[in-house]
Amino acid sequence: NAGVMQNPRHLVRRRGQEARLRCSPMKGHSHVYWYRQLPEEGLKFMVYLQKENIIDESGMPKERFSAEFPKEGPSILRIQQVVRGDSAAYFCASSPNIMEGILGTEAFFGQGTRLTVV
């Protein structure tokens, strides 16, 4: 859905560099979810954030990965010291309210950021 804006669309990083992926939710949405799709795999949940709060980060690797959703500005998924295995498509979704925010009719995915680590 064009309403959830992710940038950049494509990102190339050398091993050891940092990658920053941005997600601007749809207007009026205060819940953001990050998913990762490795090659030939389905999407996997990483983290769920509300403004200034991490609600559930159970799907995020413990090291090198972090996420934030500040009071102002987009949500950021940050990957430090990238490795080849981080190459994937990273999708962000947003919803207005978790009670209704079943990842279905009330939530929408962005177009994704394709990260390539060389």
Strand partners, 79: 19, 65
Entry field: residues in the chain? 118
Q: Does 98 bind other proteins (CB under 8 A)?
A: yes
Q: How far is the CB of 111 from other proteins (least distance, A)?
A: 5
Among 57, 59, 66, 68, binds other proteins (CB under 8 A): 59
Q: Which stretch binds other proteins (CB under 8 A): 11-19, 30-38, 63-71, 75-83?
A: 30-38
The distance of closest approach from Cβ of residue 61 to other proteins in the complex, given in angstroms and rounded to an integer, is 16
Chain position carrying tokens 């995915």: 109
107: contact with other proteins by CB under 8 A: yes
> Cβ-count burial of 70 within 10 angstroms (0-12 exposed, 13-18 middle, 19+ buried)?
exposed
With beta carbons less than 8 A apart as the criterion, state whether 29 and 96 touch.
Answer: yes
Closest CB to other proteins among residues 3, 17: 3
